[in-house]
Amino acid sequence: MKVNELVQYIIDYCKNNKFNKVYICGNGGSGKTSLSKYIEEEAKKYGNVNAISTDDFIVDTNLRNNASITWKENDKDYSYRYTSSNKESYFIKNIDEILYNIDNGLDCYYFPKKYKEENNIRKLYSNYFLTIIEGVGTAFLERDSKSLSIFLKCSTENEIKRREDRLENQNRSSIELYDEKRDSQFRTNVLIHENEFDMIIENDDNFEYKIVKK
């Protein structure tokens, strides 16, 4: 399935079931942000669309780097900094308040984390066709009965390759490419919620999509 086919399928699914929210979670490099942008552009044909990234509500990196968490996976003890795979790394209450406001007739605004200019302030509409919430942090949000939740996956090989391409484009250190403790946090705190999502969608190295649960 091509991305345009998947996007139309998701939008039709929401229309047919009278859903007004789409939550997109998944592993690194799976294309969460890209898919959410494709859905956003297509959904604008039907009305106002809100786009929320949970990355915009993550605790400051310096604070997380100076705190540590311990956990166990497969009888092995770990200790590491707080990554985006921890509920405590997010201002969850702020996201909940925004969703409450737009569902109760109040337009609101928020600053994307990486904004550079005032016109990048993001307006969220209470009169909306669809609200898209994407990012690892969606695993820790409560979802109502009018929402579709998607867990997006790619293979470990594709994840590493896409991370490599991203780091090269952003001129960042290759030390971020693979980290056993970070990946263990993801498996322990996020991947355990995979089957709680309505759909599980996989993509290959050519970004061909396959719905493996619906």
Q: Which tens digit of pLDDT belongs to each residue from 80-108?
A: 999 999 999 999 999 999 999 999 999 99
For residue 126, the model assigns a pLDDT of 97
Could you give the CA distance from residue 47 to residue 129 in angstroms, rounded to a whole number?
A: 5
Total number of domains constituting the chain: 1
Query: What's residue 177's pLDDT?
Result: 58
What torsion, rounded to 10 degrees, do the Cα atoms 188, 94, 60, 116 define? 130
Of 5 and 168, the one with more pLDDT: 5
Q: What is the mean pLDDT of residues 164-181?
A: 64
The residue to which tokens 């609101």 are assigned: 108
- Domain at 152, CATH number: 3.40.50.300
Evaluate whether 131 touches 124 at the Cβ level (below 8 Å): yes
Q: Distance (Å, rounded) from C-alpha 49 to C-alpha 53? A: 13
155: domain range? 3-213
Whether 173 shows a pLDDT value over 80: the answer reads: no
pTM tops 0.95:
no
